[in-house]
Amino acid sequence: MAARTRAHVFVSGTVQGVYYRANTRDAAREAGVDGWVKNLADGRVEAVFEGPEDAVESMVEWCHEGSPAAEVEDVEVEYESPQGEDGFEIRH
């Protein structure tokens, strides 16, 4: 079984009000990655991706582009131990 990893991501730029969270959810589900995504009060988007290393890495890369209407300026990533996320959801 492939090693599981967890990436905690903060995305800044024009990433709210551009369907970033919905597109992230769809991409994560397609990649077979668990976790969640939410808007932060400071205008950033926060996300956690958990799953096989290659799938998590592909989601981190995806964040640099994001949804078609997004203008991503920066992506901060911290790698952590998996915490057993199940499914992928948009948090409010």
What are the strands of the beta sheet with 34-39, ordered from one edge? 71-80, 4-14, 45-52, 34-39, 88-90
Of 92, 89, 79, 77, nearest in space to 41 by CA: 92
Among residues 4, 6, 21, 29, the one annotated as catalytic is 21
Catalytic one among 4, 23, 29, 39?
39
Q: Catalytic annotation on 21?
A: yes
4 is catalytic: no
When computed from its CA atoms, the radius of gyration of the chain, rounded to whole angstroms, is 12
The rounded distance, in Å, linking the Cα atoms of 60 and 55 is 9
Q: Which residues are catalytic?
A: 21, 39
